[in-house]
Amino acid sequence: MRSIFKKSILVAALALLGVSGALAQDLTLKLGTLAPEGSVWDNIMRDMGEQWKASGVKLQVYPGGVLGDEPDIVSKMRIGQIQMGVLTVVGLAQIDKGVQALSVPMLYHSYAESDYVRGKMQPLLEARLLKKGFKVLNWGEAGWVMFFGKEPILTPDDLKKAKFFVWGDDTDTLNIWKSAGYSPIPLAATDILPNLQTGLINSFDTTPISALSFQWFAMAPHMTNMRWAPLVGATIITTKAWNKIPVAAQPAVLKAASEAGVRFKDEIRSGEQKAIDVMIKHGLTVHDLTKEQYDQWEKLFTGIYPQIGGTVIPQDMMDMAVKYRDEYRSTRKAAAE
């Protein structure tokens, strides 16, 4: 009788292990992103998903904003409709505004400066996001943000005449623009193209690769050659979904995600000028700025830092970004002497 009882327990245990294994093999993670299907971001995410299969994790990608704008994607993650997102700082700011310190206008003059600040702030930012229920799998980027318009935008006064897009959920930024005398039009990023066509907007700011990938440049064929902010982003997963991945599989999942992050960096940076060249062949005009024009933009953006700090970005995070940016410049200056 005892032998039969032990055998029953063993059978039950094996059955449970079988069920557990089946659940691990059947684990599907749904990811939302604005990146168009076939774009560099989409391709990298799908390649990452192929690597995950060996760990019993299936990745289902919803590209091109089919799940809505970035705030919509974050909302769907919060209620469990999807588990992952590839987001820019705009979407990440729906979780924690501190992330926007990585993309402050005119704060960074090079990728080296941006990389240094992100490297210093990354552990803190990841901890802040984790505390709110989201784990960072990798950091990425979309390139340098530039202005695109139906007419050239060479100075801040030119922008005052324009009807330009701002993210509809970013009311702090919207109010700052308005207080400075500008006329931003709040929209979802998914509504940029149709509203360029109707004339509700006639300009926007984005990266060259994004302008090409979404084909927005065709309706705004003048690009201002001024790198005014690096557009940083990240791939995130809800902690609830992360905890469903078997512990033994998590290192492999993280490794593939880390490799995807390296590809984001390398392929975006190497492809930025290529994207500009392709758009030039299809009618884009690139406008270089004089020093005087550049100085006007720098004065505009640095002049609103006091408004950005404490509203768009927590003041302590803004101060930290400036501190590390200055630290990098001081180190470079000392090395050159």
In a domain, 62, yes or no: yes
What Cα–Cα distance (Å) separates residue 33 from each residue in 4, 86, 144?
54, 5, 19
How far apart (Å, rounded) are the C-alpha atoms in residues 117 and 122?
8
Task: For residue 111, give both structure tokens.
Answer: 């990728």
The closest of 78, 34, 82, 39 to 59, measured between CA atoms, is 82
Domains identified in the chain, total number: 1
Closest CA to 311 of 176, 188, 126, 181: 176
What was the pLDDT predicted at 26?
72
Residue type, 247: V
* Domain CATH code at residue 27: 3.40.190.170
In a domain, 7, yes or no: no
Asked whether residue 272 is assigned to any structural domain, the reply reads yes
Q: Note the pLDDT of residue 81.
A: 97
- Asked if the structure places residue 8 within a domain, the reply is no
Would residue 13 count as lying in a domain?
A: no
Each residue's pLDDT, cut to its tens digit, for the chain (337 residues) gives 444 444 444 444 443 444 344 344 579 999 999 999 999 999 999 999 999 999 999 999 999 999 999 999 999 999 999 999 999 999 999 999 999 999 999 999 999 999 999 999 999 999 999 999 999 999 999 999 999 999 999 999 999 999 999 988 788 888 889 888 899 999 999 999 999 999 999 999 999 999 999 999 999 999 999 999 999 999 999 999 999 999 999 999 999 999 999 999 999 999 999 999 999 999 999 999 999 999 999 999 999 999 999 999 999 999 999 999 999 999 887 776 6
Domain range for 185:
23-336
Residue 152 token pair = 């050239």
Tokens at residue 137, please?
């799998």
Compute CA 90 distance to the chain's CA centroid, rounded to the nearest angstrom.
7
Its pTM stands at 0.89
328 in any annotated domain:
yes
- Report d(CA 84, CA 290) in Å as an integer: 43
Q: Would you state the pLDDT for residue 172? A: 86
Distance CA 31, CA 224 (A): 33
Whether residue 80 is contained in a domain is answered as: yes
* CB atoms inside a 10 Å sphere around CB 124: 13
Q: Give me the pLDDT at residue 14, please.
A: 40
Establish if 9 belongs to a structural domain. no
User: Alpha-carbon distance 27 to 7, whole Å?
Assistant: 30
Interatomic CA distance for residues 222 and 214, integer angstroms: 16
The one-letter code for the residue type at 312 is V
